[in-house]
Amino acid sequence: MHPARHAEATPDRPAIVVAETGEAISYAALNARSNQAAQLFRAEGLQPGDRVALFLENTPDYFAFGWGAQRSGLLFVAISSKLTAPEVDYILADSGAKLLVASACLAQAAGGVTADVRRYSHGGPISGFAPIEAALDCQPATPIPDESAGAAMLYSSGTTGRPKGIVRPPPPDPAIDAPTPLAMIANMFFGLGPDSIYLSTAPLYHAAPLGWTMAVHMLGGTVVLMHHFEPEAALAHIERYRCNAGQFVPTHFVRMLKLPEQVRGRYDVSSMKTAIHAAAPCPVPVKRAMIDWWGPVIDEYYAGSEGNGFTAIKAADWLARPGSVGAAIGEAQLHICDEEGNPLPPRREGLVFFAGGRPFEYHRDPEKTAGSRNAHGWSTLGDVGWVDEDGYLYLTDRKSFMIISGGVNIYPQEIENHLVTHPAVADVAVVGAPHDEMGEQVVAVVQPMAGVAATSELADELMSWCRQSLSGVKTPRRFDFVDELPRHPTGKLYKRLIRDRYWGKESRIV
């Protein structure tokens, strides 16, 4: 279960197809280029356990670098292409990355990083970067002599508002072709395999698209890679390539459902056998509408980048349990616990924990790591829910005020920390408010300084202030003004009181 093995058995099978152009990269070509990447990493002095950072848009070479790092025993850090230079700098420094590969189209941000790393550009020049294509061409396309399995090092938001790296122990089997838990679930539960033609709709720097596409490669299938999601284009790609699998977020479903009926009816999507979705709760009416349209192929799972547990549910089972995100599969057991960590019976709401799953820790954040465990040693992502008598999970709340917009996790504190430095801002709270297409939108609730008028001009000024230092997904889409934010005398902000106003809920201070 590795592209190298498929390159031996089926060298001409397409491993990757660029959705917009039809360009195909065979398993033989992917294997050769990933070997050259591994050779380059070793030539640069990178040894097993070292970090290499990828700051790239969706490109077939993302997989060459990813698989090159994987077969070198490296941890590859996928950095969002939406980040600014200071945000990229932080992740490079925090992860300890020794080498950075950046897309030329991201030159403005990449050129501004100050971290002490070896720098390579991809797809064009960046000042101060060496072209990686020429460097790869100088390397042999044969395996390095000391191959061992590496993995992705993903970043999640931390208690300080800064992203935190998720670190897992090395794989128990160092062989590069040892099966991974996700590849086994993809095969056994979702039916992915060598005949899969998998539409990848999202940026590869996200945990799920990166993990699932590499799982497809482990199983010998073909990844149809979109540069970016457009609803009608996705339908056209399904028809053109006869895609039978793919991954989506609820926002994708909403946008496709909002297409005019004549546009939706223009494309044949009957080839789809499993449309896997996660990242955010999918409204029940939206999922029902997708099943009505595509048939009972809208399958769902719940998991986190931490990899501590996994639930899943097929469409047919969901129709009998609408709103569920599935029952636990794999090695981890699901528990719902109260605030003291005691297990709760079915239909009692509490914090979602997994026991017996893969261990993890948050890089350089022992407090956050410890906070994710209870007295039993079980781990949680901070989500709230309940299970029915058959063990099917229903989520009823988000991680502590994490905003999920279009499937992207956004941590409010970093935005708050930036906004409060503006001279016109006395206090600020950032919350998620309902949004028909994105699920949630980022809203900044601002208490202006005394004597500062709460005007539309101030809102425009604050938006520009955010855009100077924060990526677009973090910039609030809306600014509301209040005379005073609800804070306890100790300084604690009652953010639920603010958030619930946008969601039409009644709240009280407890």
494 and 392 in a common domain = no
Average pLDDT over residues 78-107: 94
Tell me whether residue 42 is in a domain: yes
> What is the pLDDT confidence band of residue 507, given thresholds at 50, 70 and 90?
very low
Does 55 reside within a domain? yes
394 and 368 both lie in a single domain: yes
CATH of the domain at 85: 3.40.50.980
Same domain, 411 and 463: yes
Residue 389 has pLDDT above 70, yes or no: yes
**Closest to 63 (Cα-Cα) out of 98, 34, 29:** 34
How far apart are alpha carbons 11 and 27 in whole angstroms?
Answer: 5
Q: Are residues 57 and 153 in the same domain?
A: yes
| β pairing state of 326-328 and 392-397 | antiparallel
Q: Predicted confidence band at 508 (pLDDT cuts at 50, 70, 90)?
A: very low
Q: Is residue 265 part of a domain?
A: no
Q: Which of 193, 195, 204 is nearest to 229 (CA)?
A: 204
Same domain, 347 and 428: no
Whether residues 34 and 160 share a domain: the answer is yes
Residue at 176 is within a domain: no
Domain boundary among 400, 429, 451: 400
pLDDT by residue (tens digit) across 2-61? 999 999 999 999 999 999 999 999 999 999 999 999 999 999 999 999 999 999 999 999
pLDDT at 245 over 90: yes
362, 379, 400: which is the final residue of a domain?
400
- CATH code, 469: 3.30.300.30
Query: Across residues 296-315, what is the average pLDDT?
Result: 95
308 within a domain of the structure (yes/no)? no
378 and 463 co-located in one domain: no
d(CA 331, CA 15): 29
Other Cβ atoms less than 10 A from the Cβ of 391: the count is 13
- Residue-wise pLDDT for 205-235, tens only, equals 988 999 999 999 999 999 999 999 999 999 9
Q: For the domain that residue 337 is a member of, what is the CATH number? A: 2.30.38.10
Q: Are residues 357 and 446 in the same domain?
A: no
- Of all residues in the chain, the percent with pLDDT exceeding 90 is 72
109 pLDDT above the threshold of 80:
yes
Q: Does 477 share its domain with 354?
A: no
* CA-based R_g, the chain, Å: 23
pLDDT for the residue numbered 398? 63
Q: Is residue 145 part of a domain?
A: yes
The domain tally of the chain equals 3
Give the SS3 label for residue 67: helix
| pLDDT for the residue numbered 160 | 42
- State the average pLDDT over residues 255-275: 94
Model-level pTM? 0.83
In this predicted structure, the answer to whether residue 148 has a pLDDT above a threshold of 70 is yes
**Distance of alpha carbon 127 from alpha carbon 304, whole angstroms:** 37
- How does 111-145 read in b/e, with b if 16+ C-beta sit within 10 Å? eebebebbbbbbbeebeebebbeebbeebebebbe
Residue ending a domain, among 356, 377, 400, is 400
- The domain in which residue 472 lies consists of 404-502
Question: pLDDT per residue over 173-211, tens digit each?
Answer: 889 999 899 999 999 999 999 999 999 999 999 889 999
Q: Give dist(CA 14, CA 453) in Å, integer.
A: 60
